[in-house]
A and B are shown apart, each in its own frame.
Chain A
Amino acid sequence: MEKKNQFVIAVYVDNQFGVLTRVTSMFTRRGFNIDALTVGETESPAYSRITISLSGDGYAREQLINQLRKLYNVKKVEVLEDDCIQRELMLIKVKNSPAYRQEVLSAVDVYRAKVIDYTVDEMSIEITGDPSKIDAFVKLMMFYGIIIEMCRTGIVALERGSNTLLNK
C-alpha cells in the first residue's frame, strides 16, 4: 500500500454560475473525500480559483486530477509543490475564564493571533497561518477545554516565484 499524503490542488474554473456545483458533484459521484475546499476571485475576472486539500495515495491524486480536467468549466488543474505558500484563517471563540485568561493571551501573543472580541465570558480570536500552526493552536485551546465555537476557512495556496498557474 502506497502511503497517504496530504496534497493541495489549485483549480482554475470559469467564473460562472453553477461551476462549483459541477466540481463538488463530481467529487461526490467519484467518491473523493476532500479535507478542505476554498473558492474565490483571481487576478483574472474570467476565472475563479478553487483550492482543494485532501489526503490520499498517488492513485487517488491522479484520479482526482484526471476527473477534474474532464469538466468543461475547468481550465487548469495543478498539484502545488510541497513548498508552496499556504495560509488559512480561523475564528475561534473561547471561554473567558480567569483560570486560563493569561495562558490564552500568551498563546495569542506567541502565535501572533489577535483578540477581536472580548466580553465578560468569551474571547474571540483571529489566527492566520499555515494549517499546521492553526492545528497547534486548536490543540492548545482543546487542552484548556475552553473552546465554545470555531470555524476555519480551509487553505488558500500560491506557488513561490513569479510564475502564475494560468501561464505555467
Chain B
Amino acid sequence: MKLTGAEILVRTLIEQGVTDVFGYPGGQAINIYDALYKYSDEIHHYLTAHEQGAAHAADGYSRATGKVGVCIATSGPGATNLVTGIATAMLDSIPMVAITGNVPSSLIGKDSFQEIDITGITLPITKHNYFVHRIEDLADSIREAFQIAKSGRPGPVLIDIPKDVQVATYDYEPQTVVEKIPLPLAKQTQIEEAIALLNAAERPYIYIGGGAAGLGMGEAVKELAERIDAYIGCTFMGLSAINNDCDRFLGMQGMHGHYASSMAQKNADLIFAIGVRFSDRATGNVSKYAKGAKIIQLDPDFAEINKNVRVDVGIIGDVFDSFTRIAKGAIKKDHPEWRKTVAELRADEERFTAEAEASSKAPLTPKKIFDIINADKPSNTVIATDVGQHQMWTAQYVQFDNTRRFVSSGGLGTMGFGLGAAIGAQVATGDCTVLITGDGSFGMNLNELATAVTYKIPVVIVLMNNGVLGMVRQWQTLFFGKRYSNTVLDRKTDFVKLAEAFGAKAYRAFTAEEFKTAFDEALKNTDGPVVIDTAIDEDAFVLPMLPPGGSIDDIIVRK
C-alpha cells in the first residue's frame, strides 16, 4: 500500500505497539501531525506545553512500564527542546524513541528557517540516531530504532526526518513488533567463579542497580539473601526493585544513602553487584571504595565491566539468567557475626534519624510528610520526583511495594524532570501517581500543569516548599561558609493560586495534620492534578551525606 512518509512513520509506530505519544507540532512536523490526525483512533497524541515536557513524559512512560516511550517535535527549537529529555534518558538507560521533523533535504545545510543539525547535537546523548535521507529507509529505520532502544542496555534513539521524506510516497507493508536482540549468556566457568566467591563470603552484600530494577528480580534476590545470610542494598536507580518490607533490604547506599546500607557495603567482604555502574555518587572516592571486598559484577553492557571499579568477576550478558545460575550454586549459610554487625548499624541509623527528627522545631518535617505518604498511598503507587533534597528524601523514606514505581532522574539529575515524567507514568499505568517536587524544580517546568489539566491526568503534586534551592544551600552551609549565593529564591509565587489559574485543585499545608487532610483529599481526585504546597524548613538537611570527593569514612550523619 502506498503511503506518505508521515503516514508510514505513524503506521510503523502503531505496528510497533505504540499507543501513546507525547509531542508538539510545528512547521516541519505538520505532515506527521496530519498523519496522527488520520490515525487518531489507533494512537493517542498528548500535546504538552513544551517539548521538554514531552521528552520527560515519554521517559516517565517508559520507566513505569518498560515500554519504549515516544516523543515528537518539529525541527529547530522543537528538536533542541528535546535535548535535556533525551540526555536524561541516556544517562539512566531508558528506552525512548524521539522523532523530529527537519527542513526539506534541499534546504539542509543552508541555515534555513528552523533548521538544526539535531543528529549532530544528539550524537553523544543517544544510543544511536538516524537522519532519514530516503523514504525507502524510513520504516526500517524506525524499526531498527525501536530494536536498539530496547535491546541490551536500553537507551534513547532519535530519528530526524526531513520534510520531503515525510511528503514522498512509498510502499508500506506492516511487520511484527521487533524483538529485543537476545543478550549473550554467561560462560559457565565465570558463573562458577562467582559461585565460589559467594560461597566463600562471610559478609555478603547484594547490590542492585538500575540494570536490575525493571526485571522483576525482587523475589529471587530476597530468596538468595535469606539463604546465604546476605543483606541487600541498592543504588538510586535500583530503588523499587526490592520491596521495602523485605527485612534483608537496607535501602539505597551512596552519597545520601542509608547509613546502614552504606556502612554494610563498606564492611562487606563480598559485593554482588547486579546492573550497577559504580557511579561517583554511589562509590564516593573510588580509590577508597570497597577495599576489603571481592566484587562480582553482572551487566548487559560489556563496557561497564571494569570502567569505574576493578571487579574480581565481571559477567556480561543477561543479568537475570546469570543471577539465577549463580544463585543455584550458592549454598545455605549462617553468618551470625554479620547479622550482628548489620543489626548494630541499623540501630545506629535509627538513632541518627530520631535525633535529627527531634532536633527540628519545624511543624512539618520531610520525614513527617513521607510517613503520611507511606501510610496513605494506595498499593502500586508510582512515585515521581524532581531533583534536589526532596528527591533524596524520597529515595530514603518512600516505601515501595512494586518494581518500576520510582520515576526519577538519577544520572543526569534533571531539575524540571518530574511533572512531565509523572504525566507520562500516569498515562502509561493508570495507577495512582504522586510527584514529589521542590519549589526550585517545580518552577522549571510547571507549565505542564496545563497538560495534566487538559487531559485530566490525576497526578498528586507534593511541593516541598522551602523557598530555597535546598541541596545547593546545604553544600553552601557545609562547605562554602554559609554564603548563600543565588540559592535564596525569595519569590512571591503563590503556588495555590497558580495551580488554580491552570485549572488544578490546590491545598496548602503547614502542619502534618493539614498535610494529611490535603493528601487524602488529593488521592480521591481522579479528574486532574492536585497541588499541595507544603512549607518545610529551609535548613532541613539531607543526611547522611558523603562530602564530595570523600569516601564512606567521611560520612556526615549529624548537622
Contacts and interface: CB of A to CB of B under 8 A. Distances in A.
A62 interface: yes
A66 B306 CA distance: 11
B302 A69 contact: yes
B184 interface: no
B123 A22 contact: yes
B120 interface: yes
A153 interface: no
A26 interface: yes
Interface string A59-103: 100110011011110000000000000000000000000000000
Contacts of A18: 119, 131
B120 A63 contact: no
Contacts of B303: 63, 66-67, 69-70
Given A18-B131, A70-B301, A62 B124 contact: no
Contact of A21 (B123, B128, B306): B123
Given A62-B306, A67-B303, A72-B148, A26 B119 contact: no
Contacts of B124: 25-26, 28-29
Contacts of B119: 18
A21 B119 CA distance: 11
Contact of A72 (B120, B128, B302): B128
Contacts of B120: 21
Nearest to B133: A17
Contact of B123 (A25, A63, A70): A25
B171 to A, nearest CB: 23
B307 interface: yes
Max chain A CB contacts within 10 Å: which of B120, B124, B131, B148? B124
A71 B301 CA distance: 12
Contacts of A62: 306
B131 A66 contact: no
Interface residues of B, number: 14
A63 B133 CA distance: 33
Contacts of B307: 63, 66
A69 B127 CA distance: 12
Nearest to B131: A18
Main secondary structure of the interface of A (DSSP, over half): helix
Contacts of A63: 303, 307
Contacts of A28: 124
Interface string B86-123: 00000000000000000000000000000000011001
Interface string B303-321: 1001100000000000000
A17 B120 CA distance: 12
Contacts of B133: 17
Nearest to A68: B303
A66 B302 contact: yes
A157 B128 CA distance: 29
B131 to A, nearest CB: 7
A72 B133 CA distance: 18
Interface in A17-55: 17-18, 21-22, 25-26, 28-29
A150 to B, nearest CB: 32
Contacts of B301: 70
A67 B302 CA distance: 9
B419 to A, nearest CB: 29
Contacts of A22: 123
Nearest to B127: A72
B526 to A, nearest CB: 43
B330 to A, nearest CB: 29
Nearest to B152: A70
Contacts of B127: 72
Interface string B115-146: 00001100110011001010000000000000
A146 B124 CA distance: 43
A16 to B, nearest CB: 10
B374 to A, nearest CB: 40
Interface string B267-303: 0000000000000000000000000000000000111
B20 to A, nearest CB: 27
A63 B303 CA distance: 7
A71 B128 CA distance: 8
Nearest to A67: B303
Contacts of A59: 306
A69 B152 CA distance: 13
B39 to A, nearest CB: 29
A66 B302 CA distance: 7
Contacts of B148: 72
A17 B160 CA distance: 14
Contacts of A72: 127-128, 148
A101 to B, nearest CB: 49
B136 to A, nearest CB: 15
Nearest to B305: A66
Contacts of A25: 123-124
A67 B301 CA distance: 10
A143 to B, nearest CB: 43
A109 to B, nearest CB: 48
A67 B304 CA distance: 10
A62 B307 CA distance: 9
Nearest to B301: A70
Contacts of A70: 301, 303
B90 to A, nearest CB: 11
A63 B306 CA distance: 9
Nearest to A25: B123
Contacts of A17: 133
A20 B127 CA distance: 16
Given A66-B302, A67-B303, A72-B148, 8 more contacts: A18-B131, A21-B120, A25-B123, A26-B124, A62-B306, A70-B301, A72-B127, A72-B128
27 contacts: A17-B133, A18-B119, A18-B131, A21-B120, A21-B123, A22-B123, A25-B123, A25-B124, A26-B124, A28-B124, A29-B124, A59-B306, A62-B306, A63-B303, A63-B307, A66-B302, A66-B303, A66-B307, A67-B303, A69-B302, A69-B303, A70-B301, A70-B303, A71-B128, A72-B127, A72-B128, A72-B148
Which 6 pairs from chain A and chain B are nearest by CB?
A66-B303, A72-B128, A29-B124, A25-B123, A70-B303, A67-B303
